[in-house]
Chain A
Amino acid sequence: MVSNAGSPTLHMKAEMAVALTGITKRFGAFVANDGIDLAVRRGEIHAIIGENGAGKTTLMNILFGLLQPDEGSIRLNGEETVVTDPAVAIKAGLGMVHQHFKLVPSLSVADNVFLGMEIRRHGLIDHAAQIARTRELSKRFGLQVDPTERVGLLSVGIEQRIEILKVLVRGARTIILDEPTAVLTPQESRELFQTLRSFVAEGMTVIFISHHLEEVMEVSDTVTVLRNGKKVATRPTAELNKDELVRMMVGREVSFDRRPRTPSRGDVVLDVKELWARDDRRLPALRNVSFTVRSGEVVGIAGVAGNGQTELAEVLSGLRPASHGSARLKRRDLATLSPREIREAGLAHVPGDRMVRGVDRNASIAANMLMGRQHRAPWSSGGVLNWTAISQNASRLIRDFDIRAQGPGDAVKRLSGGNIQKVVLAREFTNDADFLLIDQPTRGVDIGAQEAIHDEIMRQRAAGRAILLISVQLDELAALADRILVMFNGRIMGEVAGDGADEDRIGMMMAGVAAPEPAAEPA
């Protein structure tokens, strides 16, 4: 293992803005944080880096009082502190900028900044004073905003500045930013880094959570790497290079259970050409995506969550319109088909948010397994459902997929997360569809069930299905996919063969480092 050579020693603790010792946090059987030590010196930019699920956000939520640790202690400015809730953390000079902003769209920038601590005169809110204070702060730290504008009209980048201003107004001296650049354009990111440096210049401290290698190298003084809930190392950034960082993040001990694979010579089932789509905020979420999936082949989509994978799945299942380009399923243009027609044309879909899209939690297993096939024999004929067949089928699937339930009449909400996922998989995998769109098949599923799900995906591959597997877990993709496409910021950064998957290279592409394949232009 990598040593903790660069970590500060105990006698220096008076200089420490934040010192965490032996922090452990469990969620059921899952250990999110496992005995993590973290020391952040006053006046530094300290980056915390790690893959999704490495425990970064959990650790910061504990520091900020949003979660209580099961073990371990916290020192703020050298004082042992029990952070029972955010108010304690704020009082100790901590401020947190969350990944999801909590701003009120109809209020002005200044109103949002001062919400909860309004400046009042004669009992009425003094807008002029709030605007003046906001303007002053935004000048001082280079956070350009117009305090009078309504937040609803502003871009995400500016919203983040407002969140930072909120923290500053509350007197924070140590500022935690959770994946701040995930929502920013490169230009906005650069401006943010300027601001962070100006904080440090004023003697403030910044804790910066990220999985983006380049920006960590660019902006931080010290890096702490987390992996699987454990701390790998804390090092001065200057001593590191990108390769080392990737190795520490991804880890060597992950055993890729590689299965023998032969390239598919099957027909092209899914053909995506120059596809563009927008997300809910109307920003481009897919940019010029092209790829094909052949029968008997698993194509993996790797990438950090939120880089366009969700939108890709929605476009392919007809739940979101494409703004440009085409996607053809067995030569039929998906844009002209309704979600039902796409299913009938041969799509089976395991959705990423299975609790909302994948099941009706209050309905029975049998009723859940009927969805999408309620118009087809043998489950119905002439519009009349055959519940005997439906029930028998459900019982068989419960047995085949080893779903832990009493019977087909059990409500889905009574099952565990892994078993709910198996209900979805059982339904979709037995649809006789030529194309399987599988989004995060093992998220929140225990190890034993993961194995079973992987085996099932490989069986489907052997049966000649074309499979698009979207996952944030690299080892899963390396274990299953014939080819892996890496998505970053709505683009496909490159392709890697599955059985020769080089985690370093994938990691780089996921972080947006590697140059993309030359992109073809949309017509």
Chain B
Amino acid sequence: MIRDRLRDVSGQIIAIAVALILGAIIILLVGESPLRVLTTLLRGAFGDQEKIAGTLLQTTPILICGVAACIGLRGGMFNVGIEGQLFLGGFAAAWVGFAFALPAGLHMLAALALAVVAGAAWVAIPAYFRARYNTNEVVSTILSNYVAVLLTSYFTIFLFKRPGGWSETPPILPSAYLPELFSFSRLNWGLIIGLVLALGAALIFRYTSWGYGVTMVGSAPKFAEYGGVNVKRQGFVVLLLSGAVGGLAGGIETLGVHHRFMEGFAPGFGFDGLIAALLANGSPVATIFTALFFGALRSGSLLLEVDTSASREIITVIQALIILSVSAQVLVRRRGDSQAGERRWKF
């Protein structure tokens, strides 16, 4: 068992190494020195305590979105719509934050609750059609992302624009703020919530009857059906929960970092989360580390933009390369194991 685990992990590491080499080649093509890019990334991500806090700040939404993706993947569902759920959740939380006045604490909880509901509601229709009529959830959730982003922009700019501002809502009341952890950074309780969610999801999948049934639906649906698990219902529930966590990610981003909703407020976090979850092979605990990795890349890329001629999107290139090489790692595995290698990504 431990040898299996080791082999899994070593496969993942080899894949990442291959991706980094490919990334280095692309950086060379872009006309930068890979070494300089690397040191800049490291400096940008871990240079001092503010930079480390910045990395953790970037990690938070990736982690929560990653947990959302893990929940879906466990039940055999690809929720590619986390980006949209994040935006709607973010807006919903902001709306509660600026439109109502409630006691501190309660205000924050109410805002987060609406964010959760918004995320779940946004995925409900694709989830229903997936469970009931087997409508491809990948396409329906991707397309709903575009609608969600445009819809929240419409809300922000046409309905709730801050007077005098450009494309942002009025600021939320301080009573709805997520408390910050340190004085020198906007790093907040969101990170703690993310860690709790990741560990909680892992515990639920491992230690509850429900989690066991869902895991079996994801990995062997016919076996689950035979054992009396309602495969269709669990598929629906899993997507709904995944959407709810996606919405929560948006709410936390609003209440903890921006304190308002603005157009394009958290671009790409949903996709980063999905990639982090895939790289973690659907394990919420492993997602903590992959999310930290991507958070560091993102945080480091801010300095990259300033200090080198490379664009910060070079890190999305590296992320994509990592996923591609991990997905192809059947290559580096023994032939007899090719089936296992295949399944890892079939979820």
Taking beta carbons and an 8 Å cutoff, which residues of A are in contact with B? 317, 319, 338-344, 349, 351, 356-363, 367, 370-372, 374-375, 380, 383-385, 387, 409-411, 413
- Indicate if the CB atoms of B209 and A356 lie closer than 8 Å: no
Q: Contact partner of B230 among A338, A359, A372, CB < 8 A? A: A338
Task: Give the distance to chain A from B275, nearest Cβ to Cβ, in Å.
Answer: 23
Q: List 6 A-B contacts (CB under 8 A).
A: A340-B228, A344-B228, A351-B226, A384-B207, A387-B207, A413-B340
- Indicate if the CB atoms of A374 and B220 lie closer than 8 Å: no
From 116 to 155 in chain B, residues with beta carbon under 8 angstroms from any chain A beta carbon are none
Docked Cα-Cα span, A404 to B322, in Å, equals: 39
- Indicate if the CB atoms of B212 and A317 lie closer than 8 Å: no
Besides A340-B230, A343-B227, A371-B216, 4 more A-B contacts (Cβ < 8 Å) are A339-B227, A357-B223, A374-B212, A387-B207
Docked Cα-Cα span, A370 to B208, in Å, equals: 12
Docked Cα-Cα span, A340 to B229, in Å, equals: 7
- Indicate if the CB atoms of B207 and A371 lie closer than 8 Å: no
Name, among A319, A374, A380, A387, the residue most crowded by chain B CB atoms within 10 Å (CB to CB): A374
- Indicate if the CB atoms of B208 and A385 lie closer than 8 Å: yes
- Indicate if the CB atoms of B212 and A372 lie closer than 8 Å: no
- Indicate if the CB atoms of B222 and A357 lie closer than 8 Å: yes
Docked Cα-Cα span, A351 to B224, in Å, equals: 13
Q: Contact partner of B209 among A338, A360, A375, CB < 8 A? A: A375
Docked Cα-Cα span, A343 to B219, in Å, equals: 21
- Indicate if the CB atoms of B213 and A374 lie closer than 8 Å: yes
From 1 to 45 in chain B, residues with beta carbon under 8 angstroms from any chain A beta carbon are 1, 4
Task: Give the distance to chain A from B1, nearest Cβ to Cβ, in Å.
Answer: 5
- Indicate if the CB atoms of B227 and A372 lie closer than 8 Å: yes
Interface string of B174-213 (1 = CB under 8 A from A): 0000000000000000000000000000000011111011
In the complex formed, the residue of A with least CB distance to B223 is A360
- Indicate if the CB atoms of A383 and B209 lie closer than 8 Å: yes
- Indicate if the CB atoms of B226 and A360 lie closer than 8 Å: no
A343 neighbours in B (Cβ, 8 Å): 227-228
Known A-B contacts A371-B216, A375-B209; A409 and B1 likewise in contact (beta carbons under 8 Å)? yes
Docked Cα-Cα span, A342 to B227, in Å, equals: 10
Docked Cα-Cα span, A410 to B343, in Å, equals: 18
Taking beta carbons and an 8 Å cutoff, which residues of B are in contact with A? 1, 4, 206-210, 212-213, 216, 219-220, 222-230, 340, 343
User: What does DSSP make chain B's interface, helix, strand, loop or mixed?
Assistant: helix
In the complex formed, the residue of B with least CB distance to A406 is B1
- Indicate if the CB atoms of B212 and A370 lie closer than 8 Å: yes
Q: Contact partner of B219 among A319, A357, A363, A385, CB < 8 A? A: A363
B1 neighbours in A (Cβ, 8 Å): 409-411
Interchain Cβ contacts within 8 Å, total number: 74
- Indicate if the CB atoms of B226 and A319 lie closer than 8 Å: yes
Task: Give the distance to chain A from B330, nearest Cβ to Cβ, in Å.
Answer: 15
In the complex formed, the residue of A with least CB distance to B226 is A357
Task: Give the distance to chain A from B55, nearest Cβ to Cβ, in Å.
Answer: 35
B4 neighbours in A (Cβ, 8 Å): 411
- Indicate if the CB atoms of B222 and A356 lie closer than 8 Å: yes
Task: Give the distance to chain B from A387, nearest Cβ to Cβ, in Å.
Answer: 7
Docked Cα-Cα span, A360 to B222, in Å, equals: 9
- Indicate if the CB atoms of B226 and A317 lie closer than 8 Å: yes
Task: Give the distance to chain B from A185, nearest Cβ to Cβ, in Å.
Answer: 30
- Indicate if the CB atoms of A349 and B226 lie closer than 8 Å: yes
- Indicate if the CB atoms of A385 and B212 lie closer than 8 Å: yes
Docked Cα-Cα span, A508 to B210, in Å, equals: 49
Q: Contact partner of A362 among B212, B227, B343, CB < 8 A? A: B343
Task: Give the distance to chain B from A440, nearest Cβ to Cβ, in Å.
Answer: 15
Task: Give the distance to chain A from B231, nearest Cβ to Cβ, in Å.
Answer: 10
- Indicate if the CB atoms of A380 and B209 lie closer than 8 Å: yes
B222 neighbours in A (Cβ, 8 Å): 356-357
- Indicate if the CB atoms of A374 and B209 lie closer than 8 Å: yes
Docked Cα-Cα span, A360 to B220, in Å, equals: 6
Task: Give the distance to chain A from B6, nearest Cβ to Cβ, in Å.
Answer: 15
Docked Cα-Cα span, A372 to B226, in Å, equals: 8
A375 neighbours in B (Cβ, 8 Å): 209
Task: Give the distance to chain B from A438, nearest Cβ to Cβ, in Å.
Answer: 14
A356 neighbours in B (Cβ, 8 Å): 220, 222-223
- Indicate if the CB atoms of A385 and B209 lie closer than 8 Å: yes
In the complex formed, the residue of B with least CB distance to A386 is B207
Docked Cα-Cα span, A147 to B216, in Å, equals: 46
In the complex formed, the residue of A with least CB distance to B209 is A374
Docked Cα-Cα span, A360 to B216, in Å, equals: 7
Docked Cα-Cα span, A361 to B219, in Å, equals: 9
B206 neighbours in A (Cβ, 8 Å): 385, 387
In the complex formed, the residue of A with least CB distance to B344 is A362
Docked Cα-Cα span, A383 to B216, in Å, equals: 16
B340 neighbours in A (Cβ, 8 Å): 362, 413
Q: Contact partner of B223 among A344, A359, A383, CB < 8 A? A: A359
A344 neighbours in B (Cβ, 8 Å): 228
B219 neighbours in A (Cβ, 8 Å): 360, 362-363
Docked Cα-Cα span, A380 to B208, in Å, equals: 8
Task: Give the distance to chain B from A396, nearest Cβ to Cβ, in Å.
Answer: 20
B213 neighbours in A (Cβ, 8 Å): 374
Docked Cα-Cα span, A242 to B223, in Å, equals: 43
Task: Give the distance to chain A from B337, nearest Cβ to Cβ, in Å.
Answer: 10
B228 neighbours in A (Cβ, 8 Å): 338-344, 372
Task: Give the distance to chain A from B140, nearest Cβ to Cβ, in Å.
Answer: 26
A372 neighbours in B (Cβ, 8 Å): 227-228
In the complex formed, the residue of B with least CB distance to A361 is B220
Q: Contact partner of B208 among A339, A384, A411, CB < 8 A? A: A384
